Amino acid sequence: MHALERREAIIVLDYGSQYSRLITRRIRECQVYSELVPANTTLEDLQKNAHLDIKGFIFSGGPSSVYDADAPLCDPAILNSGLPILGICYGMQLLAQELGGHVAPTQGLREYGPATIEVLPEAAEDKQIFRIFEGISATPQQTDNLDASQPEVLRLPAWMSHGDSVDKLPEGFRVLARTESNPVAAIGDARGYIGLQFHPEVTHTPQGKEIIRNFLFRICHCEASWTAGHVIDEAVDLIRQQVGSDHVICGLSGGVDSAVAALLIHKAIGDQLTCIFVDTGLLRAGEREQVEETFANHMHIPLVVVDARQRFLDKLANVSDPERKRKIIGAEFISIFEDEAVRLAETQENVTFLAQGTLYPDVIESTSHDTATTAKSIKSHHNVGGLPSEMKLKLVEPLRMLFKDEVREIGAALGLPEEWVWRHPFPGPGLAIRVIGAVDEPKLKVLREADRIVIEEIRKAGIYRELGQAFAVLTPVQSVGVMGDYRTYAYLVAVRAVTTGDFMTADWARLPDELLGRISNRLTNEIAEINRVVYDITSKPPSTIEWE
Ligand SMILES: Nc1ncnc2c1ncn2[C@@H]1O[C@H](COP(=O)(O)OP(=O)(O)OP(=O)(O)O)[C@@H](O)[C@H]1O
Ligand SMILES: O=c1[nH]c(=O)c2[nH+]cn([C@@H]3O[C@H](COP(=O)(O)O)[C@@H](O)[C@H]3O)c2[nH]1
Ligand SMILES: NC(=O)CC[C@H](N)C(=O)O
Ligand SMILES: [Mg+2]
């Protein structure tokens, strides 16, 4: 076992919630180290990890019901460890049942989505138990909606997703909050056992992060000391351990993720690294030149540029199914990396690793490759679910457990130029998944031009940084127009701009009318193949950010 530095940790037991890893991520945002482990992990297993100084546990939500015969439980030694435990949703129900309470299907309304919890004023009487809500208040906006005749009740918006409820408390517990339809929305006892029926880890529970902070700092007495510097040191250690003296090639795309992956690997193994940038022909206007120039100026790592434009176009000819496109592109990338590894092997020994800037959202939406979860597959991101089943190179993915904003923070700490840190993500399959349907060079040309105009106008309006992503989509729809008294029959382009923090959920951006007008004007005036422009006003969910 590698000797990692011993650090305070909160262990999250995963009962299968979509949000399990969001919990660990929220904890890390509070600068406390956290690990997600399968629900059947025992205290003894955990104690074998010398680097963990466990300060408390969180039981996640999950799809099961605790009274089912096959419901996942927890190691009794964890319950008896004397360490604080926060149970969320299923986790609260489990905690309640295992400590002698009772859980049953909810009488009356089940709760899915937004709800309002009322923190009971009498709960504040016992300061020890009330620590989880200490110092929490409604925002002025939330207070505006309050009933003035009941000023003492603290009402907070919260995200709910449950059909079971705790109907009998374990001994020593008291109810801390309720909702209109559920008398037990939060419970606690003096030892630091807390149950929340709502999800504090999602952004739809605005005070959720404060509640998690209370658990970490007031109940578990953690110190806020886990920083980007630690994450870097640890990643560097793990890379050295995994790679040894072998040579790594790193797929570099010009995006922030692969740049940060390359910097981390370079820090770990120096000149055992070669970066490879593939010109897929599916890139945006000027992108190749830009990547070459920025890389030469800022990174001191050898870069190989592969011109694979024709290869990709040939493979994609007449393919219109989005999943097939993604799989073809994923396989082509790998085949190119393997060819390059062979070429490099003429001058380097043991070229055995391929590094990618894969992030957690790529992993979770692609498949349940992540052993600790059972989430459903949405689309095959080319670098995860789109990978061929047999690969000659072994993967190094130092960012696989992180979210975009965490990667940006690490990039900044590693000295990546700000311009690069804040670049909008651009998917590896590139314009191929923004030309809806079959891809060919004439369509790519139209879209490349459209994309350039959209981004140019957004930068001019000074709102590039505020947006998570912005781009144009070339639809296969053609419609009738009139230009200079002529009839036109040309393409419909959709403009998409979203705001998001972690790219797991996103909202459509409320772009100013004038900006939308200018974009529409320029697209139709400057590109003959376009005579109609629409703006995409769907959030994710139910849509995704990309159209394919
Ligand atoms: N043109 C390319 N050449 C080489 N590798 C690429 C290319 N495009 C994508 N990749 C590889 O696929 C991975 C995933 O791509 P993805 O677009 O998610 O990440 P990124 O480009 O590094 O960052 P961002 O999400 O900010 O665009 C990259 O980290 C990189 O390893
Ligand atoms: O490297 C990538 N390979 C892919 O196959 C891929 N598909 C989507 N994306 C990017 O992932 C984020 C979420 O996108 P979706 O909401 O469309 O799933 C957004 O930032 C997308 O641009 C990809 N990135
Ligand atoms: N999201 C959850 O954790 C749900 C827990 C439990 N299955 C319920 O419906 O109440
Ligand atoms: Mg990219």
* Average pLDDT over the chain, rounded to an integer: 91
Residue range(s) in the chain whose domain bears CATH number 3.40.50.620: 228-421
CB-ligand 2 contact for 543 (6 Å cutoff): no
| CATH number corresponding to 7-219 | 3.40.50.880
Residues whose CB falls within 8 Å of the CB of residue 165, separated by 6 or more in sequence, listed in order: 93, 103, 104, 105, 106, 107, 182, 184, 197
Please give the sequence-ordered ranges of beta strands (E in DSSP) within 218-291, or none if there are none.
247-251, 273-279
Mean pLDDT confidence for 169-187: 96
**Angle made by CA atoms 142, 61, 382, in degrees to the nearest 5:** 100
Mean pLDDT confidence for 332-349: 94
Which ligand has the nearest atom to the CA of 91?
3
Mean pLDDT confidence for 496-512: 90
| CATH number corresponding to 228-421 | 3.40.50.620
pLDDT band at 223 (very low <50, low <70, confident <90, very high): very high
Residue range(s) in the chain whose domain bears CATH number 3.30.300.10: 436-535
| Tens digits of residue pLDDT in 118-129 | 999 999 999 999
* Minimum mean pLDDT range among 2-11, 106-115, 430-439, 516-525: 2-11
- Choose one of 12, 70, 89 to mutate for the ligand 3 pocket test, by most ligand atoms within 8 angstroms of C-beta: 89
Report domain 436-535's class. alpha beta
pLDDT computed for residue 365 by the predictor:
65
Mean pLDDT confidence for 438-444: 98
pLDDT band at 236 (very low <50, low <70, confident <90, very high): very high
ipTM: 0.86
pLDDT band at 259 (very low <50, low <70, confident <90, very high): very high
Residues with CB under 6 A from ligand 1: 251-253, 255-258, 276-278, 280, 356-358, 362, 383, 425-428
> Can you give the pTM of this predicted structure?
0.76
Q: Report the share of the chain in percent with pLDDT over 70.
A: 93
CA distances to 100, 172, 254, 409, 431 from 420, in Å: 54, 54, 8, 12, 20
Quick check: 250 pLDDT over 70? Answer: yes
Mean pLDDT confidence for 489-506: 91
| Tens digits of residue pLDDT in 105-151 | 998 778 888 899 999 999 999 999 999 999 999 876 666 555 555 55
Quick check: 371 pLDDT over 80? Answer: no
Quick check: 370 pLDDT over 60? Answer: no
